[in-house]
Every structure is written in structure tokens, then in C-alpha cells.
Structure 1
């Protein structure tokens, strides 16, 4: 059975290398390897599954299929943990492999959960307005980013 994920290492993997090195728990090469593993976990798991399929003779033939150009909205949340307060929010609209629209990050300091949901709905309405005959009712995926990577200036985390 696989070892459970260390929550503090998972959060640290989101930080830049210089920010991670400033932490008290930094352990040099061990941390470099661990951060790389956390960031590339999905890719490694896919490779392992493919190697297992080859080894057991369960190779599935690959075929080429045209990829449909369906719209997908992606929500970016700047927060430390899932249960931590939201620092900022941003969004992107993609159709196939091309980015069509983007909502720049906005600070959410002092917002209630209901205000965040309402803002998200407004973003989806705006994205739906960019599309013809398509109404987006949810975000396809959510990306969590560390608040230290917040690009908004001025920012309470980045005093000038």
C-alpha cells in the first residue's frame, strides 16, 4: 500500500523553490525529490499503469480520434489549504487547446462564502456570453495556488 501524502509537503510543492527553502523543515535534496514527486504524481501514476499493462499483456491498442473542441472553464483559487480562507480568485475559458477568455485574479479578503459563489456564477455567465448556444453551469476543474503566488499588486502578502 502506498504511503499517505504528507499535507505540509503537498502544500510546500505549490511554492517556488526559494520560498520552500526559507521554511524551517527544508531538508535539501530530500525536499527537492519529494516536491518533484508531488508535482508530477499524476504523470508517474499513468506511466506505472502503462508499464503494468505491458507487463501483464493487457496492452490496449492506441487509435487516433479527433478531439472535440468543447468549452471548459477553469477556476484558480489562491489559498493555503482547502479549509483556509480564500485569498484571491481567477478563471480561464478554454475551447479545445486554445484559451479564449480570462478573468484576472481578484482579492477575496472579507468575502463570505455566498459572495464567492455569486462571483463564480457571474464569471460562468460571462463565459457563457462568449460562447454561442452553450451555457456553462460549472467549472470543469479547480486549480489551487499558494497565496504567495498572487499576482495582484498591491497585495497584503506583498508589502511594497
Structure 2
């Protein structure tokens, strides 16, 4: 493959890959302090295809508040697993990398805290663009843009906000 001048170093690749894992697993474990620890001070969130939300400079604390809200992933009746597929990265600037990731985000809503009966399933298949920002010499998770290809089952019944 010919060089495009946008390749990232191996150490940057490892840092971005780790941030991707921490982001996905913090959602799935509902570990909001873990999510907060990896975020840049402001994040670019383009969730238009999920909850019609878009903000290019959302303060990190507001992002954690949004994700952990009971109407969203903070709902204890919702369980998720964000499975990452193939990825590629592009250096945009010395302090900015974009990662393009195949993802299958499985969601299940249960009828009660016993998690015995499934009320609804909704699985998203997408390519997401994650942004990584270098802050004080350290790579941080800087945002997400979703390109949902299709959803399985009844995704519209997972969250309690209007999609």
C-alpha cells in the first residue's frame, strides 16, 4: 500500500486502540468514571442516527451525564455490548487522529432488574468515526460520529427518548 502521509505511529495506534476498548467497555459496564477518565475536555458528538444529538464542543462532563442518564445507557434495564470489527486510522493533525471502526452494538431491554425476560432487542450495525485528541501529551477520546447502516429488531423500543 502506498504511503499517504496520514499514517500513525505504532505507539499512537496502540493508544487509540486502547481508548477505543475503554470507551466501548465503559458503556457496556456502565462505568461512568472510567468513561470520564479517557475523555478530552470537550468532545465532538454526532449521534444524529441514534438520538438526534449533535454538538462539536460538548464538555466531557456533559457527555458523561448524557450517556449515564436513565433515558439512555444509564438505564439499569438496558444491557449492551459494543463489538468492534476492522479499524483504520488517519492522522489529521499532530494532535488529532480519526479512527474508522466497524461496529455491532447489541442492545437488550429487560422487563425488570432480575434480567430474566427480554422486553426488546435492538442491535445497530454501523461504521463509526472516533476522534482522538492529544491533550497535554496524552491521547484522549475526543468524539464519535455514527453512520448506521441498519438496525436489527426493535431498536426504537430500547431507549425511552424519541428517536
Q: TM-score range by the shorter chain?
A: under 0.3
**If each structure's helix is expressed as a fraction of its own residues, which one has the higher value?**
1
Q: Which has the larger radius of gyration?
A: 1
Q: Could you tell me the TM-score, scaled by structure 2's length?
A: 0.27
Q: Could you tell me the TM-score, scaled by structure 1's length?
A: 0.28
